Amino acid sequence: MFSHLRAGPSRLAPLARTPRQPPSHALWLRSLHDTVRGATPDGTPYKVTLKSPKVVGIHTSRGERTYLEDATAVFAIDVDRGELLNSLPRGTQWYGGSEPGTEEVAFVGIFDGHGGTAVSQFLRDNLAAIVESVTPDDIPAAVEATEALGGYFRRWRGGVLNRWTKWAASGAPAEKGTDRLNLDERLTLAYLKADHQIQTDMKDGARHCGSTASVVLIQSLDKPSQPHFASQKLHLTIAQVGDTRVLLCDTALGEVWALTDKHHAEARVEADRLRRMGTDRLISDSFGETRWMGAIENTRVFGDFEWKASGVTVEPEVTHRIIDGSEYAYLVFVTDGLTSLLSDQELVDLARNSADPTRAAKTIVHFGEDLGAQDNCTCIVVPLAGWGNVGGEDTTETRREYRRSQASRLNTRMQRM
C-alpha cells in the first residue's frame, strides 16, 4: 500500500505547499517552556509559571507497586495563529490578534505506562516538543513507518492525514489557506512520529512496553489572551489514547463532564474500528474481563509494538470543546489507579472544597490510597475561571466516607491476621 505515492524506493513524494509564514510575534518565540505569556488589557506584559502549585496541581503515588510508571507533562507550546483559527469548531468567534500569547497554548498531559517506565518517561520529556515542532514535511516518514507495521495497517489510508497523502499522490500544490495542518492533524502526526521514535530508540524493548496518553491543549479565546485560570472563553482540544481520564467539573451543580472515552476493545468506537479487520479477537476471561487478543486492555496506546499489526494503534481520538471559563471550576486528569476505585463524580467532588489545585490533586490521590489503591495513582487538577464557585451539594460524600470506613476496617483485620 502507498507504493503509488513513492518518489523513490522507500519515500513518499514530498508535499507541495507554500512555505509557512513565521508567526507575527516572532520575538516571543522560543523553545519548549513552562510559562505562558501575554498582556493585560492595558498592554502590560505578564508571565505565569505553569509549574506553580497554585496554577496547576499534580500529585502521584506508587500505590503498592515497586516503581512508578505514571508520568505527567505541563508546558506551553507555540502554534501558528492560522492553524488555531482553522481548528476552531464552526461558528466560534476568535479575535486572533498579534498580541503576545495569542499563539501560545497550554499543553497538559498524563501518561500511564505499563511494562516499564521507558515509554511514559519518553512522552513526559518529548511529546510536547514533538507536538509543537511537527510540520507537513514529517508526514511521508510517518506514513511509511506506520505502513511498515503491517497487518492491520496494510488497510490504513492515512487516517486523519488522508488529505495530505492524496496531495502527495497527485503532485499538485495545496490550495492557499489549506496548506497548513489543523490541530487534529498536528496531534495525530505528533503521536505517530513519537511512536516511531520510541520504536527506533527502544527496538525490542518497545514490544512489551507502552503507555496511554491523555493530552489537552488549552487555548484562550479572550482578547487579549488570558491564562487558563482567568480566561472567560477557552478552546479545549483533547487527544486521547488508552484509558487515562480527563474530567470537567461545572460550577452550577458540581456535575462531572467526561472529556475522554476508554479505548478498550469492547468500547463502541474501538469495536467498530477493529471489526473492520474481519475477525473477532475479543476474548473474555472467567472474571468477565475482556481483552483484545486475550492480552491487550488498551487498543490505542504508545509502544506495545508486538500488537500493532493486530490492530493496536497510536492514532489519537481528537475532540474539541468550547467552554465559558466561569461556568466550569476545574479539569481533573487521572490514571486508572484512581478510576478503577472511584467514579467520575466522586473524583470531581473530592476537589470541590480545596484551597488550591495542588491540594485538590493530593486529596484525590490520598483518598485512593485510603481505599487501598494497588496501582500507581496520579492526578492533575487545572483550575478554570470558575474555581471556588462550585454550587450544588457534594452528592457522593456519604458514599465515599462509607467506602473509606469499610476499607479501613478491612485493613485493620488484615493487620491482625
- In this structure, is residue 21 part of a structural domain? no
Most confident of 102-106, 135-139, 190-194, 207-211: 190-194
User: What is the band of 91 on the pLDDT scale with cuts at 50, 70, 90?
Assistant: confident
CA 176 to chain centre: 30
Q: What is the DSSP string of 56-120?
A: SEEEEE-TTSSS--EEEEEEEEE--HHHHHHHSPTT------SSTTTTEEEEEEEEEEESSSHHH
Number of structural domains found in the chain: 1
Percent of the chain residues topping a pLDDT of 70: 82
What's the pLDDT score for residue 336? 95
CA 145 to chain centre: 22
- In this structure, is residue 37 part of a structural domain? no
Question: Across 14-56, where does the E strand assignment appear?
Answer: 35-39, 45-49
- In this structure, is residue 131 part of a structural domain? yes
Q: What is the DSSP letter of 255?
A: -
Strand, helix or coil for residue 374: coil
- In this structure, is residue 97 part of a structural domain? yes
- In this structure, is residue 216 part of a structural domain? yes
Q: What is the DSSP string of 276-291?
A: TTSS--EEE-TTS-EE
Rounded-to-integer distance, Cα 120 and Cα 353, Å:
31
Torsion of CA 309, 311, 312, 317, to 10 degrees: 140
Strand, helix or coil for residue 300: strand
Residue 337, CA distances (Å) to 52, 148, 176, 373, 395 in order:
25, 34, 47, 7, 22
- In this structure, is residue 293 part of a structural domain? no
Q: What is the CATH number of the domain that holds 184?
A: 3.60.40.10
- In this structure, is residue 308 part of a structural domain? no
What's the pLDDT score for residue 138? 94
Average confidence score pLDDT of the chain: 86
Residue 58 has pLDDT above 80, yes or no: yes
Rounded-to-integer distance, Cα 143 and Cα 48, Å:
38
How many Cα atoms are found within 13 Å in the side-chain-facing hemisphere of 201?
Answer: 14
What's the pLDDT score for residue 283? 58
Q: 42-54: per-residue pLDDT in tens?
A: 878 889 999 999 9
Q: How many of the other CB atoms lie within 10 Å of CB of 268?
A: 8
Is the CB of residue 165 less than 8 Å from the CB of residue 2?
yes
Question: Residue 108 sits in which domain range?
Answer: 61-262+315-416
- In this structure, is residue 72 part of a structural domain? yes
Q: 229-245: per-residue pLDDT in tens?
A: 999 999 999 999 999 99
Strand, helix or coil for residue 397: helix
Task: Give 284 or 186, the one with higher predicted confidence.
Answer: 186
Weakest-pLDDT range from 174-188, 211-225, 386-400? 174-188
Q: 119-152: per-residue pLDDT in tens?
A: 999 999 999 999 999 999 999 999 999 999 998 8
**To which H or E segment does residue 347 belong?**
helix 344-351
CA 338 to chain centre: 17
What's the pLDDT score for residue 42? 80
Rounded-to-integer distance, Cα 183 and Cα 83, Å:
7
